[in-house]
Amino acid sequence: MEPGAGEGSSTDDYESLISTTDAELLKRSWRNEKAAPEILKFEAALVQRSREQIHLMEETVEEFTRNAVDPLTVSLYQMDLDRTLFLLRSYLRTRLQKIEKYVLHIQKTTELWNRLSKQEQKFAVRSVGDLTQHLERSVLTKLPDQYQSHLKQSGASEDDDMVPEPKLDTYIICRSKKFLGAFQLDDSGEEPVNIEADDLYALPYKSIKPLVESGQIDLV
C-alpha cells in the first residue's frame, strides 16, 4: 500500500526534522509506543541524547541552587528536567510492560526481537526463563504429557495457540504530519481514505503501520 500524491518534498522533511527538538521527539515516541498495540523500534539514539540532556539539566539545577540563582529560573529548569524524566521513564516502562505481556511472541518473531535494545533482550530472556520455571513448577508437571507445553494447549495443536499476540487490527487514533492524499487501507476494495495534514483519524493499526514506522503518521 502506498500513499497517494502530495507527500511533499525532501526539503520539507528536512526542515521539519531540524526544527523538532529532542523533547518533542521523545514525546512523540512515547505517545506512539503507548498507542501502538505492538512494540515499536527502540529509539536508541534519542534515548541516549535524552539521558545526556537529563544529566546536563541536573548539573545546571544544582549549580543554580548553589549560586542562589533566581528561584523562578531554577523552577523553570526543574520543570523541564521533571518533564523529560517522566517521558523517558514512561517510554521505557511502557516498552517493558509490552515485553512482559508478549515476551514469548516477541522472542520467536525475529522482526520484533530486533526492535529491542540489548538490555531489553536480556530482560526478555530472563522473563521467559522465569515464566517457564514458574509454569513448570506450579502447573505443567502436574498435567499429562500432552498438556505440558507452555506454548500449546495440547500436543495436537499445530500452532503456538497459548502465546499472546498483539491485536494489530485494533483501531487507533492517528494524525498525519502532512497531506498524504488517497491511501488504500487494505485489499477489501473499499474507497481509499483521503489523509489530510493535522486531521485526526480512527483507523486499524495494521493498515497504517508502515506510515507509523516511516514517521509519516503519529499516534495519539
pLDDT digits (tens, 9 = 90+) for 9-34: 444 543 444 346 899 999 999 999 99
User: Hunting for cell 499516534 — which residue is that?
Assistant: 219
Provide the phi-psi class of 6: left if phi over 0, else alpha when psi is between -120 and 50, else beta: left
pLDDT at 89 > cutoff 80 = yes
Pair 89, 54: CB distance under 8 Å: no
Q: Which residue would you say has higher pLDDT here, 3 or 155? A: 155
**Which residues does 111 contact at the CB level (< 8 Å), separation at least 6?**
none
Task: Pick 38-165's CATH classification: 3.40.50.150, 2.60.40.10, 1.20.58.1030, 3.50.50.60.
Answer: 1.20.58.1030
pLDDT at 3 > cutoff 60 = no
Give the pLDDT of residue 65.
92
Residue 142 banded pLDDT, cuts 50, 70, 90: low
Angle between helices 118-138 and 71-107 (to 10 degrees): 50
Which one-letter DSSP state was computed for residue 176?
E
Pair 26, 44: CB distance under 8 Å: no
Mean pLDDT over residues 80-97, rounded?
A: 97
Write down the domain spans for the chain.
1-20+167-220, 38-165
pLDDT per residue as tens digits for the range 73-84: 999 999 999 999
Backbone angles phi, psi at 31, to 5 degrees: -65, -45
Long-range contacts of 19-25 (CB under 8 A, 24+ apart): 22/46, 22/49, 22/50, 22/53, 23/80, 23/83, 23/84, 23/87
138 residue type, one letter:
S
Alpha carbon distance 166, 114 (integer Å): 17
Cell numbers given for 18: 531540524
pLDDT at 43 > cutoff 60 = yes
pLDDT per residue as tens digits for the range 165-199: 999 999 999 999 899 999 888 777 678 889 999 99
Pair 160, 108: CB distance under 8 Å: yes
93 residue type, one letter:
R
Secondary structure class of 171 (helix, strand, coil) = strand
The verdict on domain 1-20+167-220 having CATH code 3.40.5.60 is: yes
